[in-house]
């Protein structure tokens, strides 16, 4: 199994406006199953005789692999991004000032992108863009939200499975709840790692007591 499931990095019992049942169900039913699917795809690819395999089969598996890889990573960033309530500070707020004109303009832009994604099964991310040494807000699906060379530091899941249990079709309430629960300390660590060329998978560990989920 080349891909391992990461522990649920936030404490789902302590989030304001996001129920424990919603977060744990999302983690188990979507994230854990995505990693399982990714391992099945990887196994299928490893059994393929690539020089002899038909193009349509190679293309289908590689497309599914890319979508599952992005879904895995973005879900990990999403869950790691939850569990805080404070404002960003230090180098991150300085970067927001430089690239968006401050925290409030960034917040308004990010929330607007999220509202536009409601019902579209997509993601909204804040990413470090090494080419131009700046932060950018992005919106799209598993296959097209990621910027070549970009490094996502914050991810908001706008698929209905991320909010329907608590909010029905009212995505706006979910977006507001997510924005109130951002763990800025972790987002700042991601920003620092991205802007310094670090690894995308940071070890934030599991909250105490660790959430045990059968897989």
Cβ proximity to Fe ion, 27 vs 100, nearer residue: 27
In whole angstroms, the minimum distance from the beta carbon of 119 to Fe ion comes to 14
Min dist. Cβ of residue 157 to Fe ion (A): 4
Please, what is the minimum distance in Å from the beta carbon of residue 158 to Fe ion?
9
Residue 125: its H or E element = strand 123-129
User: Between 99 and 157, whose beta carbon lies closer to Fe ion?
Assistant: 157
For residue 97, give both structure tokens: 């000032």
- The nearer residue to Fe ion, 32 or 92, going by C-beta atoms, is 32
Specify the DSSP element, H or E, that contains 26.
helix 20-26
Which parts of 67-126 interact with Fe ion (CB under 5 A)? none
30 binds Fe ion (CB under 5 A): yes
Q: What are phi and psi of 152, to 5 degrees?
A: -65, 135
DSSP 55-88: HHHHHHHHHHHHHHHHHHHHHHHHHHTBS--S--
Q: Which residue is nearest to Fe ion (CB)?
A: 157
Query: From CA 147, how far away is CA 134, in angstroms rounded?
Result: 13
Q: Which of residues 117-176 bind Fe ion (CB under 5 A)?
A: 157, 159, 162
Residue count, binding to Fe ion (CB under 5 A): 4
Structure letter (DSSP) for residue 182 = B
Residues that bind Fe ion (CB under 5 A): 30, 157, 159, 162
């Amino acid at each position: 199994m080349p891909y391992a499931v990461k522990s649920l990095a936030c404490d789902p019992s302590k989030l304001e406006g996001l129920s424990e049942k919603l977060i744990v169900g999302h983690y188990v039913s979507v994230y854990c199953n995505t990693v399982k699917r990714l391992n099945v795809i990887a196994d299928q690819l490893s059994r393929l005789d690539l020089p002899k395999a038909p193009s349509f089969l190679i293309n289908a598996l590689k497309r599914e692999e890319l979508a599952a890889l992005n879904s895995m990573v973005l879900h990990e960033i999403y869950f790691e991004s939850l569990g805080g309530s404070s404002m960003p500070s230090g180098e991150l707020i300085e970067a927001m000032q430089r690239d968006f004109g401050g925290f409030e303009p960034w917040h308004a832009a990010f929330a607007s992108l999220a509202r536009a994604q409601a019902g579209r099964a997509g993601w909204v991310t804040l990413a470090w863009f090494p080419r131009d040494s700046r932060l950018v807000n992005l919106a799209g699906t598993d296959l097209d939200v990621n910027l070549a060379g970009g490094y996502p530091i914050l991810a908001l899941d706008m698929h209905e499975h991320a909010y329907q249990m608590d909010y029905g079709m009212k995505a706006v309430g979910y977006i507001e709840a997510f924005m109130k629960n951002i763990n800025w300390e972790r987002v700042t660590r991601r920003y620092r790692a991205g802007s310094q060329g670090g690894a995308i998978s940071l070890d934030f560990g599991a909250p105490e007591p660790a959430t045990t989920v059968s897989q």
